A and B are shown apart, each in its own frame.
Chain A
Amino acid sequence: MSDDADKQNGAEAAGRPERPIPDPPGYFEGESMTRRRAFTVAVQGIGGIAGAAIVLPAVGFAVAPIFHRGKERWEAVGPVGDFVEDTYRQVIFTETEGIGDAGKTTAYVRKSSKQLDEKPNEIVAVSNRCAHLGCPVRFVEAAGNFICPCHGGVYDFQGKRIGGPPVRPLDHFQARVRDGQVELGPRYSVTSQLEPVRARDPGEFTGGVWEYLYPPRPSTFPPPSG
């Protein structure tokens, strides 16, 4: 590699050839090498412990949110009668608490459709967050599609990708009916066959081997069963 010249220069500058014993730098008379080694180890050990004592708690503090799962919350978004099978109704509800408007999100909600071979009498709530990189998708009534204004992703009526770069269908929210009111809960993602999996961030594939390449995060809720 590079550095024969450097070595030569270094050798000439540092070690005069006539010097007999290559003393370590800073050698003084009567110095014992074992003592020096012991001191070196002690310095590294003490310094390392002190450093770790500062850094480790700080790092733990910073990464703790990765392992923290918030409280599951459900919010009523309207009476069951408001929602129909053949089109979506746009609802706004709070997904993250404590930050006011910035914690709200939009969901498109409808009843499950017999024509599309979905389980009867369920509520389907589709997130407006594009599965490509998270831009806000819009449901276009006329075409029955969702389209994304950023990079041109297109999804069909069920939220399956039909064009553009998105990597999976649109996310869903868990939904249930309580006292005649539709309630929306935690977010979950779906595979290309619309099987529920744990919520993934946009841009992450779901299903098959991708479940290992983009592992589920402890901060998300388990998907609804079946």
Chain B
Amino acid sequence: MKLDSLIPAPLRKPAKPGASNGAAKGPAPADLKTAPAERPSDAQRLGDRAKDAPADVLAWVDQRTAASGFLTGMLYRKVPKGTNWFYTLGSATLIAFVSQAITGVFLAMFYTPSATQAYASIAHINNDVFLGQLVHGMHKWGSSVMVILVFLHMGRTFFFGAYKYPRELNWVIGVVLLILTMTMAFTGYLLPFDQRSFWASVVGININGTGPVVGPYLSDFLRAGPELGATTLSRFYAIHMLLVPGAIIALIGAHMYLVVKLGTTAPPWLKADKPKVAASVSQLDAGVEGNGAAPPNGASAS
């Protein structure tokens, strides 16, 4: 419970049922349960130990990390009334990214980022590797799916006004994630090194180059030279494989931390002033206003 103070306030709030006390939720700490009163048979004892093992392991980890407080806070936090299917677009985008990450790692095992060999290595993946075409296809179409989902998720946030106070920062992070996703789509497009990807990259790099003053240098930086050359492909590969995914993972972490901390929004057409709760609230409001002071408790949620 000492470590509880490290956990952000809204997460600390223990869920009502069952989980009244985060750290003590699991079975008692392992070192306390060594001496049973009677001596059961060896087999029985072994069986009991085996049955307890998962719980014991969890307790052992929890004692050292105090993670259960955070986890129960996160899992059993209340999601506002009216949450509907529109609110699944975020996790849909997340799973699309996870799918891209996993298939990407396996494609990287067979792919050669060299202008002379890239095309052949993709052909090898498609034709010779077991399930190669499937994994390659999942990565290829997964990118389209992810772009669509990012846009749908953003559209939902926009139309529901979910970017407003107190979630402005999360919107900004989300837009940066959108830009990074498009960067992934652009850098990944060159890698198969067929006609389509080659010319799309040529045009894309030249679009960068039309920015005044810095544009020409930016193009040289992207290509690692004045023309698409020997190191252009490895440069795109490094950006696609390491730089941008790292940034995306970090920002997804921040994005989700803020979602948990601030809570997901309720649908904007929903109003709280319904049955009896509403009555008491309006009384409370009236009372507070009568006193002429802002109620500090209201903000305890954030």
Contact = CB atoms under 8 A, between A and B. Distances in A.
A102 B116 contact: yes
B215 A217 contact: no
A203 B229 contact: no
A12 to B, nearest CB: 6
A63 B222 CA distance: 9
A96 to B, nearest CB: 5
A214 B212 contact: yes
Interface in A85-108: 95-96, 98-103
Contacts of A201: 205-206, 209, 215-216, 219
B225 interface: yes
A147 to B, nearest CB: 16
Interface in A45-103: 62-63, 65-66, 68-70, 95-96, 98-103
Contact of B115 (A69, A99, A215): A99
Contact of A135 (B199, B205, B221): B199
B203 A98 contact: no
B203 A219 contact: no
B296 A9 contact: yes
B210 interface: yes
B225 A134 contact: no
Interface residues of A, number: 37
A16 B300 CA distance: 17
A225 interface: no
Given A8-B294, A65-B220, A201-B219, A219 B209 contact: no
Contacts of A133: 202-203, 206-207
A142 interface: no
B221 A219 contact: no
Nearest to B298: A9
Interface string A114-126: 0000000000000
Interface residues of B, number: 33
B224 interface: yes
Nearest to B299: A9
Given A2-B165, A201-B209, A134 B217 contact: no
A217 B220 contact: yes
Contact of B229 (A103, A214, A217): A103
A100 B198 CA distance: 14
Nearest to A65: B224
A199 interface: yes
B187 to A, nearest CB: 14
B215 A214 contact: yes
Nearest to B238: A62
Contacts of A5: 294, 299
A42 interface: no
B241 interface: no
A213 interface: yes
B294 A217 contact: no
A150 interface: yes
B215 A202 contact: no
A136 B198 CA distance: 12
7 contacts: A98-B229, A98-B230, A101-B116, A103-B227, A199-B226, A201-B205, A202-B206
Given A103-B227, A199-B226, A219-B225, 9 more contacts: A2-B165, A8-B294, A9-B299, A65-B223, A101-B116, A201-B216, A213-B213, A214-B212, A219-B226
6 nearest interchain CB pairs? A99-B115, A203-B210, A201-B209, A65-B224, A219-B226, A100-B116
